[in-house]
Amino acid sequence: MAFDTMFSRIITNAPLPAAMYDFTITGPREAEGEIPVLLQTALKITFDLTGRKETRLASVLLLRMKTPTAIGRSISPTESKAFRYGGGEISGIGVTMQQLASALEDCLKQPVLDETDSNDEYDITLKWNETKPDTINREALLTAVRDQLGLELIPATRPVEMVIIEQNKADPWPIRTP
């Protein structure tokens, strides 16, 4: 959230803390756009981490149309919107190919670029077999995308905007007490 990017597009030279941290920010709704800056400031003050965007060549998957129709993908007849993914399933109403690409990227932990050239919105149902909790069955997901959605994910190398997170001092995790 601090850098508005997917985890698969973050590169770091710093040993990031394994723990999870909560930040509570209270302010007027009009200030929502300032939240990333506040989070970046908190990372700088707390951990001496800074981030910058940089375009780099990366190993990606290109999302492309394989067939014009598929059992799990149809043009949405409604203006309603709903979207969810996880646990061996991606489903939604009024889903764009960019939204699907982002969900696939989150599942596969690798950048997925939408090259479908589709501006349509779709109703999508995609299911695959997960063999272990919290672990994506990559091959099953790739096969399901092809067989159920009529799409393909093609490995390639492309320039991708990445977030480079760097640590600026020798003591990575100083103990700070309030």
pLDDT at 75: 95
Residue 112's Cβ-count burial label (10 Å; 0-12, 13-18, 19+) is buried
For residue 15, count other CB atoms closer than 10 A to its CB.
9
pLDDT at 170: 58
pLDDT at 32: 77
User: Would the pLDDT of 171 be above 70?
Assistant: no
- How far apart CA 34 and CA 158 sit, in angstroms, is 31
User: Would the pLDDT of 134 be above 90?
Assistant: no
Tokens of 115: 């090259």
Cβ burial 20-33 (10 Å sphere, 16+ → b, else e): eeeeeeeeeeeeee
In sequence order, the β-bridge partners of residue 160 are 56
pLDDT at 20: 72
30-87 pLDDT tens trace: 877 788 888 888 888 888 888 899 999 999 999 999 998 899 999 999 999 999 998 8
Contact 8, 109 (CB under 8 A): yes
Q: How confident is the model at residue 4 (pLDDT cuts 50, 70, 90)?
A: confident
pLDDT at 44: 85
Contact 156, 62 (CB under 8 A): yes
